[in-house]
Amino acid sequence: MKRNIYFPLLVGAIAALSLSACNDDSMDSPAQTEQQPENLKIEQPNALEKVCYYVDQYWNSTAVLTTSLPNSADTNFMNSQMTQIAGLWGRTSPTLRFVNDPSSPNSTYNAISYSTGKIYYGYAIYADAKNKGGNIVNAMILAHEYGHQLQYIFGLPSVSESTARPNELEADGFAGYYLRRPNGYNQTTFAQIAAAYEFAQSIGDYQTTSAGHHGTPPQRRSAVRLGFLLGQYDLTASSFDYNFFYYYQGVLNGTYKMGKNSQYPEIDAYMSQYTDELRKIQNGEISAEEFKDLK
């Protein structure tokens, strides 16, 4: 799903609404202020990776890879976030590269996670996300794309459908989890991540029979919410997957009312407070304004 958004100058600093974030100064890495193309012919995703894109399946043929964004502060932020996101899961950072296309700026409104341990992040989506909600939105998108790295590594998700929805909703959940964790983005209230989940739901779609279906806007909001709630606990990628789908699928089909999560009784006691809320988010009973007021 392409977004037709015009960016007059992607090489300038983008004015943004600044949201509170954890201090990443200790992990800042040196940034190059001049963009350096690495490969004039950018690598396109393969069949497996086409379900792990944020907006669209491909890059434009004129796009090039760079090691930096238009300014060093943004580059440092993204590199430090990449280190912190991977570190949350006890892993080293994948290769993070940025995608620029001066001849067609809108074509870089995308982010793609590759099974070869790389994440490509477009200039256009970075600029729009920061403009709409500040740094936290790009942290959320990057955590989402790293969620796909976890899926590659651990053979997740454990649930499969005829569309990309389970992969994408779980990646949204991984992002919500990261935003809450004390050793992640460390946002302790749901209101603090409002800009992030609003951006996630804005890219939801209703093409429910399409192979590339990412989930409807309410489903994407509920996935971020569920990940945020699970951020109360220190989980491995596999235990996150188990709990995410136990509650997400259970909310959809009602099975959470018929049994207990015997593997994680402490989590089950906590989550029992929120299952009805999650169901209402998924089916649209909770409005966008009510969603912002959740605790």
Q: What is the pLDDT of residues 150-198, one digit of tens each?
A: 999 999 999 988 998 999 999 999 999 999 999 999 999 988 888 787 8
Burial of 167 (0-12, 13-18, 19+ CB in 10 A): buried
DSSP letters of 274-295? THHHHHHHHTT-S-HHHHHT--
Please indicate, yes or no, whether residues 120 and 209 belong to a single structural domain of this protein: no
Give the pLDDT band of residue 50 (cuts 50, 70, 90). Answer: low
* H or E element in which residue 250 lies: helix 237-253
Please indicate, yes or no, whether residues 119 and 168 belong to a single structural domain of this protein: no
Q: Does residue 295 carry a pLDDT above 50? A: yes
Q: Which of 139, 172, 190 is the last residue of a domain?
A: 139
- Give the structural domain span for 192: 156-292
Is 168 within a domain? yes
- This prediction has a pTM of 0.82
Please indicate, yes or no, whether residues 103 and 69 belong to a single structural domain of this protein: yes
Give, rounded to a whole angstrom, the gap between the first and last alpha carbons of the chain.
31
pLDDT in tens, 206-250: 888 888 888 888 888 888 999 999 999 999 999 999 999 999 887
Reported in sequence order, the residue ranges of 28-167 that DSSP labels E, i.e. its strands, are: 64-66, 95-100, 111-114, 118-122
pLDDT in tens, 95-114: 999 999 999 999 999 999 99
Q: Does residue 275 carry a pLDDT above 70? A: yes
Q: Which of 139, 173, 200 is the last residue of a domain?
A: 139
Q: Which of 139, 166, 189 is the last residue of a domain?
A: 139
Q: Does residue 266 contact residue 245 with C-beta atoms inside 8 Å? A: no
Report the pLDDT value the prediction gives residue 208, as an integer from 0 to 100. Answer: 87
